[in-house]
């Protein structure tokens, strides 16, 4: 019994998929009060086909049976659903913990007090600048003040260890220490994730994604501070910058293997950054429930097969980055078996310079169909629109 | 408040058990552990350590639990280390632990 049979590395086992996801992101609604420029889910308007309360509860029942310990709930802005708190309570009563992402709009002192009383709910406030100027340029006028008010209310109510969730951009990468200080001030934990060219993010990625020099800066910062900062495992494309294992986390793409996304109409996608037909595994209502989609969808079975290193097969760092992020490649029009657009060995830039066709969005709930300039004063040259806050793979290190 | 049970203070000579807020999901590679209180996830990397963790509460001390799980003394070290990691993340608590100790 003690003879330790050679066990494949955990990462290798995860790449072959599990019977149930480790982390699941569930966008409850495409409705949102903001309209962040980089919104992964192109949210704004509610989809009329949005799942009913009962359909959501049926999903929670399935998650309980599958022992999915918690869901990352997002949107859109999930708290604007009128049954949001009912669903949170239903989930926690059924042993499915809830982490939800919000821009803070509904986190009043009363709500904060209710949240502080529950052991099973975690709150993640999205913030994309440590100052109103930088934040509001991306998330819209007033959004910084709204997020900080939510953090104040949570802290005042005694809610411990809220998360501040930041998408790292060219304009906020210099503010990482400030974000950390902000988190410390509210007894919160900082979580930083990668900007993906998904949803409306495709429209602003060229201007907002960190430069090559900033990627190195970010990597160094993570190595120095990584222990106390969550990343949702989203920076594995940077792992080629240093020694294996220097970055905390599993550093693998869990799409369709250990993570996935359920969208507001019940469509199941391989990951939160991949809302496109190419990554659609099925629908929980039309295809016999979530468990069936997770286990038997053709797409997920494909993703659990060994993947080709393709153009990266000659690279000494392939083992570290595994070719980077599938969604980042797809939405920048790069081949799926080639380098990540932000490849730290520099193979992304020439690939981006070639002729490429960027896939058009297939699901867009932006309030005006397309982004438009805000009605008020325009903070920068950017446009406004809000994201489903960044979602990602689990943040925790294995024992 | 937790002078005696400070995280990281792992004494294999006493009895331990899973924290009541920890859920276990067995997997082919071992298991996933999730602590609803700390909202932390951990992985157990083989079935033996899973068996050990699940049976800890039935024994007065860790070494007895190891023996029962078929772990020879010479092979104990990695398992004791894994348990000490679980103690420091509060996945395991002393058997006489009460909720107020957390």
What residues of chain B lie within 8 A of the CB of A161, using their CB? Answer: 39
Q: What is the distance in angstroms between the Cα of A303 and the nearest Cα belonging to chain B?
A: 19
**Nearest-angstrom CA–CA distance, A380 and A388:** 21
Instruction: List the domain boundaries for chain A.
Output: 15-307
Average pLDDT over residues A72-86: 97
Among A1, A13, A97, select the one facing B48 at the smallest CB separation. Answer: A1
Residues 234-293 of A with CB under 8 A from B: none
Q: Is A119 on the interface with B (CB under 8 A)?
A: yes
Q: Which range, A240-254, A324-338, B31-45, has the best average confidence (pLDDT)?
A: A324-338
B20 touches B95 (CB < 8 A): no
Q: For residue A252, what pLDDT is reported?
A: 78
Phi first, then psi: give them for residue A259, nearest 5 degrees.
-135, 160
- Asked if the ipTM is above 0.85, the reply is no
Apex A200 CA angle, A393 and A259, nearest 5: 15
Confidence band, pLDDT 50/70/90 cuts, at residue A246: confident
Phi first, then psi: give them for residue A143, nearest 5 degrees.
-75, -30
Residue closest to A386 by CA, chosen among A82, A2, A79: A79
Q: For residue A6, what pLDDT is reported?
A: 52
> CA of B32: how far to CAs of A369, B47, B94, in Å?
42, 11, 21
User: In sequence order, which residues have a C-beta less than 8 Å from that of residue A59 and are 6 or more positions away?
Assistant: A26, A51, A262, A266, A284, A290
Average pLDDT over residues A169-189: 97
pLDDT in tens, A351-361: 999 988 888 88
| Cβ contact A398–B86 (<8 Å) | no
Q: What's the CATH architecture for A15-307?
A: Alpha-Beta Barrel (3.20)
**Nearest-angstrom CA–CA distance, A68 and A13:** 18
Residue closest to A385 by CA, chosen among A100, A105, A23, A43: A43
- The model's pTM: 0.87
Q: For residue A8, what pLDDT is reported?
A: 64
| Cβ contact B29–A122 (<8 Å) | no
Q: What is the distance in angstroms between the Cα of B34 and the nearest Cα belonging to chain A?
A: 7
What residues of chain A lie within 8 A of the CB of B27, using their CB? Answer: 18-19
Q: Please state, rounded to an integer, the average pLDDT across all residues of chain A.
A: 89
CB pairs under 8 A between A and B: 63
Among A7, A19, A22, select the one facing B46 at the smallest CB separation. Answer: A7
Average pLDDT over residues A78-104: 96
**Nearest-angstrom CA–CA distance, A93 and A294:** 23
Nearest CA in chain B to A120: B36
Q: For residue A227, what pLDDT is reported?
A: 80
**Nearest-angstrom CA–CA distance, A193 and A122:** 17
Q: For residue A123, what pLDDT is reported?
A: 97
pLDDT in tens, A309-340: 899 999 988 888 889 999 999 999 999 999 99
| Cβ contact A7–B34 (<8 Å) | no
Residues 32-71 of B with CB under 8 A from A: 32-34, 36-37, 39-46, 48, 69-71
What residues of chain B lie within 8 A of the CB of A95, using their CB? Answer: 23
pLDDT in tens, A195-225: 999 999 999 999 999 999 999 999 999 999 8
Can you spell out the DSSP letters for B39-98? Answer: TEEEEE-SHHHHHHHHHGGGSSSHHHHHHHTT--GGGHHHHHHHHHHHHHTTSEEETT--
Residue closest to B40 by CA, chosen among B11, B7, B63: B7
Q: For residue A304, what pLDDT is reported?
A: 94
């Amino acid at each position: 019994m003690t003879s330790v049979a050679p066990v494949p590395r955990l990462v290798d086992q995860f790449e072959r998929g599990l019977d149930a996801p480790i982390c699941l992101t569930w966008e409850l609604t495409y409705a949102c009060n903001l309209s962040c420029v980089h919104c992964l889910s192109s949210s704004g308007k509610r989809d009329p086909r949005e799942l009913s309360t009962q359909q959501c509860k049926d999903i929670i029942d399935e998650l309980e049976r599958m022992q999915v310990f918690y869901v990352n709930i997002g949107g859109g802005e999930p708290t604007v659903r009128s049954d949001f708190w009912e669903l949170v309570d239903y989930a926690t009563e059924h042993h499915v913990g809830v982490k939800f992402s919000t821009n803070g709009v509904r986190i009043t002192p009363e709500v904060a007090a209710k949240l502080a009383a529950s052991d099973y709910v975690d709150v993640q406030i999205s913030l994309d600048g440590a100052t109103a100027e930088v934040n509001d340029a991306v998330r819209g006028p007033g959004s910084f003040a709204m997020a900080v008010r939510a953090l104040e209310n949570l802290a005042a109510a005694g809610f411990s260890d809220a998360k501040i969730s930041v998408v790292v951009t060219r304009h906020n990468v210099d503010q990482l220490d400030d974000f950390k200080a902000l988190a410390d001030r509210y007894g919160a934990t900082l979580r930083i994730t990668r900007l993906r060219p998904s949803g409306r993010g495709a429209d602003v990625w060229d201007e907002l994604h960190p430069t090559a020099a900033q990627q190195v800066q970010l990597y160094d910062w993570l190595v120095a501070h990584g222990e106390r900062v969550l990343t949702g495992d989203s920076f594995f494309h940077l792992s080629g910058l240093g020694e294996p294992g220097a970055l905390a986390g599993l550093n693998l793409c869990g799409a369709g293997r250990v993570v996935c996304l359920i969208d507001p109409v019940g469509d199941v996608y391989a990951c939160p950054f991949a809302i496109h037909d190419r990554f659609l595994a099925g629908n929980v209502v039309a295809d016999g429930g979530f468990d069936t989609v997770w286990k038997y969808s053709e797409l997920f079975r494909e993703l659990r097969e060994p993947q080709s290193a393709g153009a990266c097969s000659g690279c000494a760092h392939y083992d570290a980055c595994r070719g980077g992020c599938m969604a980042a490649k797809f939405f920048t029009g790069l081949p799926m078996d080639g380098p990540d657009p932000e490849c730290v060995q520099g193979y992304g830039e020439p690939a981006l310079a070639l002729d490429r066709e960027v896939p058009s969005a297939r699901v867009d709930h932006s309030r005006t169909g397309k982004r438009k300039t805000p009605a008020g004063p325009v903070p920068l040259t950017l446009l406004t629109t809000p994201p489903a806050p960044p979602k990602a793979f689990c943040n925790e290190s294995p024992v | 408040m937790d002078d005696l049970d400070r995280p990281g203070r792992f004494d294999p000579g006493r009895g331990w058990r899973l924290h009541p807020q920890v859920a276990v999901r067995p997997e082919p590679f071992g298991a996933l552990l999730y602590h609803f209180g700390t909202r932390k996830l951990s992985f157990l990397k083989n079935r033996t350590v899973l068996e050990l963790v699940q049976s800890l509460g039935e024994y007065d001390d860790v070494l007895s639990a190891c023996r029962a799980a078929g772990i020879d003394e010479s092979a104990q070290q990695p398992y004791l280390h894994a348990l000490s990691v679980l103690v420091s993340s509060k996945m395991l608590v002393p058997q006489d632990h009460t909720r107020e100790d957390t």
